[in-house]
A and B are shown apart, each in its own frame.
Chain A
Amino acid sequence: MNKLFIVAVKEMNGIIRTRSQMLVGIFFALWFSVMTAPVITTVEESLVFDQFNNLLLYFVLMLGIFTAYLFSGKVFFDEKREGIIETLLCTPLSLRQIWAGKVLGVTIPAYLIALLAAALITVIANIFAASILLPSPAVFLHIFLVVPAFIAVAVGLLGFGHLLLGMRENQILNISIFVAIFLAFSLANNNVISGGYAVSGVMVGGMLIVAVLLLALISYLTRYLSKERIVTTIS
Chain B
Amino acid sequence: MNAVEIQGMAKSFNGTAVLDEINFKVRKGEIFGYLGPNGSGKTTTMRIMLGLLKPTSGKALINGKEPDDSNSDLRSRIGVLLENNGLYERLSAYQNLLYYARLYGVPESDRVEKIERLLEFAGLSDRRNEKTGRFSTGMKRKLGLARAMIHDPEILFLDEPTSGLDPESRIVVRDLILRLSEDEGMTVFLNTHDLSEVEKVCSNAAILEGGRIRACDTIVGLRKSHDKPVLEITLVDTGYAERTLDLLTSQDCAYDCERDDRRVTVTLNDESPSTVLAMLVTNGIAVEEVKNATKSLEAVYLDIVRRRGTTNE
Residue of B51, B80, B91, B102 near A87 (CB, 8 A) is B80
* Contact indicator B86/A95 (Cβ below 8 Å): no
* Contact indicator A227/B53 (Cβ below 8 Å): yes
Instruction: State in angstroms the CA–CA spacing of A86 and B86 once bound together.
Output: 8
The segment from B25-33, B70-78, B245-253 found at the interface with A is: B70-78
* Contact indicator A90/B80 (Cβ below 8 Å): yes
Instruction: State in angstroms the CA–CA spacing of A43 and B139 once bound together.
Output: 63
B82 within 8 A of A: yes
> How far is the CB of A214 from the nearest CB of chain B, in Å?
25
* Contact indicator A14/B90 (Cβ below 8 Å): yes
Of all chain A residues, the one with the shortest Cβ separation from B91 is A14
A18 within 8 A of B: yes
A residues less than 8 Å from B99 (CB atoms): 6, 10
* Contact indicator B50/A90 (Cβ below 8 Å): yes
> How far is the CB of A219 from the nearest CB of chain B, in Å?
16
Instruction: State in angstroms the CA–CA spacing of A228 and B83 once bound together.
Output: 17
* Contact indicator A6/B103 (Cβ below 8 Å): yes
A residues less than 8 Å from B86 (CB atoms): 84, 86-88
Residue of A7, A83, A90, A228 near B53 (CB, 8 A) is A228
B residues less than 8 Å from A93 (CB atoms): 72, 103
Judged by DSSP, the binding face of A is helix
> How far is the CB of A97 from the nearest CB of chain B, in Å?
9
Instruction: State in angstroms the CA–CA spacing of A3 and B75 once bound together.
Output: 14
Interface residues of B in 57-109 (CB under 8 A from A): 69-70, 72-73, 75-76, 78, 80, 82-88, 90-91, 99-100, 102-105
Instruction: State in angstroms the CA–CA spacing of A91 and B84 once bound together.
Output: 15
A residues less than 8 Å from B88 (CB atoms): 14, 84
A190 within 8 A of B: no
A residues less than 8 Å from B75 (CB atoms): 90-92
* Contact indicator A231/B52 (Cβ below 8 Å): yes
> How far is the CB of B76 from the nearest CB of chain A, in Å?
4
Instruction: State in angstroms the CA–CA spacing of A31 and B154 once bound together.
Output: 54
- A1-36 CB mask vs B (1 if < 8 Å, else 0) is 101001100100010011000000000000000000
Interface residues on A, range: 20 to 34
A82 within 8 A of B: yes
Instruction: State in angstroms the CA–CA spacing of A228 and B13 once bound together.
Output: 11
> How far is the CB of B101 from the nearest CB of chain A, in Å?
10
B224 within 8 A of A: no
Most chain B CB within a 10 A radius of its CB, from A6, A88, A90? A90
Interface residues of A in 47-68 (CB under 8 A from B): none
* Contact indicator B104/A83 (Cβ below 8 Å): no
Interface residues of B in 7-21 (CB under 8 A from A): 13
* Contact indicator A90/B78 (Cβ below 8 Å): yes
* Contact indicator B87/A83 (Cβ below 8 Å): no
- A195-235 CB mask vs B (1 if < 8 Å, else 0) is 00000000000000000000000000000001110011000
- B192-217 CB mask vs A (1 if < 8 Å, else 0) is 00000000000000000000000000
* Contact indicator B73/A92 (Cβ below 8 Å): yes
Residue of A82, A89, A91, A227 near B100 (CB, 8 A) is A91
> How far is the CB of A146 from the nearest CB of chain B, in Å?
32
B54 within 8 A of A: yes
A94 within 8 A of B: yes
* Contact indicator A82/B78 (Cβ below 8 Å): no
B residues less than 8 Å from A94 (CB atoms): 69-70, 72
B262 within 8 A of A: no
List 16 interface pairs A-B (beta carbons < 8 Å), by A numbering: A6-B103, A14-B88, A14-B90, A82-B84, A83-B84, A84-B86, A86-B84, A86-B86, A87-B80, A87-B84, A87-B85, A90-B78, A92-B75, A92-B105, A95-B69, A227-B52
Closest 3 CB pairs of A and B: A87-B86, A83-B84, A92-B72
Give me the interface of B with A, judged by CB distance under 8 Å: 13, 47, 50-54, 69-70, 72-73, 75-76, 78, 80, 82-88, 90-91, 99-100, 102-105, 147
